[in-house]
């Protein structure tokens, strides 16, 4: 059975099965043998996942793809759901890894959901729009360093592993793609209030060209020599550790 790719579900199917095999090989199965695939589509990655010694769950939104997957992979659990709406706490696994050639229209939302459930996640091997992948993995002082870089890197080691051209998909997307791997680090507790940290990172980057002294105006009238030093920089010059320090100084000054 075949079906016409649906644009509204961000369907771009990987053509080359060698690339699919390579992407699956990035998972570190020794460390975690429970895997969730988001958006398996026609099973390009799934066909290689099933030969791993791992428990697998597929989460797919498209009923047509579900029919196809059920025929092809009768032994694995296939959940017909919108990943963004699915309650991940209903998954009975303590730790799992996530893989997927993510639909680009919701890739940032997928990322934020991953961040929310970070303590259940061992690693993520994901295909993103190249530009988004680079933003996630960027280091400070790069133009691409921003909110997702700081928030994700606070909890995950980020590596860009593979670039793919438009013509490696059917239909070809308008943008280039990259596969990245996020590996959960050992940080359980950031060392500062997480909600405040998110607020400060977001506010700092909201005016990324200005010194953060200006971006964080509502928090200023503080005197601390460390704070002066950081406040005279721009958001893109601060490391994750410095954002944590900044959050603590601001919190402790109340």
Provide, rounded to whole angstroms, the least separation between the CB of residue 152 and ligand SAH.
Answer: 20
Asked whether the CA dihedral 69, 71, 73, 76 is positive or negative, the reply is positive
Interatomic CA distance for residues 238 and 230, integer angstroms: 8
Interatomic CA distance for residues 45 and 35, integer angstroms: 12
What count of residues does the chain have? 254
What is the x/- site pattern for ligand SAH, positions 75-114, by CB under 6 A? -------xxx----------------x-x--x--------
Closest residue by beta carbon to ligand SAH: 39
Task: Tell which positions 211-250 bind ligand SAH, by CB under 6 A.
Answer: none
Provide, rounded to whole angstroms, the least separation between the CB of residue 147 and ligand SAH.
Answer: 22
Our CB check for ligand SAH shows the closer of 79 and 190 to be 79
User: Which range of residues in 34-42, 132-140, 173-181, 227-235 is near ligand SAH by CB under 6 A?
Assistant: 34-42
27, 45, 68, 240: which one binds ligand SAH (CB under 6 A): 45
Rg (CA), the chain: 20
Residues 6+ apart with CB under 8 A from 49: 24, 35, 37, 56, 99
Interatomic CA distance for residues 140 and 24, integer angstroms: 29
Q: Is 19 in the site for ligand SAH (CB under 6 A)?
A: no
Q: Is 118 in the site for ligand SAH (CB under 6 A)?
A: no
User: Which range of residues in 59-67, 87-95, 148-156, 228-236 is near ligand SAH by CB under 6 A?
Assistant: 59-67
Give the 3-state secondary structure of residue 224: coil
Our CB check for ligand SAH shows the closer of 11 and 204 to be 11
Residue 116: enclosing H or E segment and its boundaries? helix 107-116
User: Which range of residues in 9-17, 49-57, 69-77, 158-166 is near ligand SAH by CB under 6 A?
Assistant: 9-17
- Rounded to the nearest 5 degrees, what angle is found at the Cα of 183, between the Cα atoms of 160 and 91? 120
Q: Is 126 in the site for ligand SAH (CB under 6 A)?
A: no
Our CB check for ligand SAH shows the closer of 28 and 170 to be 170
62-76 burial, b for 16+ CB within 10 Å, e for fewer? Answer: bebbbebbeebbeeb
Q: For binding to ligand SAH (CB under 6 A), which residues are involved?
A: 9-14, 38-42, 44-45, 59-62, 65, 82-84, 101, 103, 106
């Amino acid at each position: 059975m075949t079906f016409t790719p649906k644009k509204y579900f961000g369907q771009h199917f990987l053509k080359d099965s060698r690339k699919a095999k390579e992407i699956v090989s990035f998972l570190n199965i020794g460390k975690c043998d429970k895997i969730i695939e988001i958006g398996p589509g026609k099973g390009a990655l799934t066909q290689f996942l099933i030969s791993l010694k791992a428990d697998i769950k597929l989460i797919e939104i498209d009923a047509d793809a579900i029919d196809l997957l059920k025929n092809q992979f009768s032994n694995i659990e296939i959940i017909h759901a919108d990943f963004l709406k699915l309650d991940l706490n209903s998954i009975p696994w303590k730790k799992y890894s996530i893989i997927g050639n993510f639909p680009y229209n919701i890739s940032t939302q997928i990322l934020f959901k991953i961040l929310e459930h970070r303590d259940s996640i061992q690693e993520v091997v994901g295909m993103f729009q190249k530009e988004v992948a680079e933003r996630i993995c960027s280091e400070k002082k790069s133009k691409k360093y921003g909110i997702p870089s700081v928030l994700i890197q606070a909890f995950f080691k980020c590596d860009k592993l593979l670039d793919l051209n438009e013509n490696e998909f059917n239909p070809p997307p308008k943008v280039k793609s990259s596969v990245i791997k996020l590996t959960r680090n050992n940080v359980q507790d950031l060392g500062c209030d997480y909600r405040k940290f998110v607020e400060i990172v977001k506010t700092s980057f909201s005016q990324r060209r200005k010194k953060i002294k200006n971006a964080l105006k509502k928090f200023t009238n503080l005197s601390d020599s460390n704070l002066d030093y950081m406040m005279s920089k721009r958001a893109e010059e601060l490391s994750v550790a410095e954002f944590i320090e900044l959050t603590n100084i601001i919190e402790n000054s109340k």
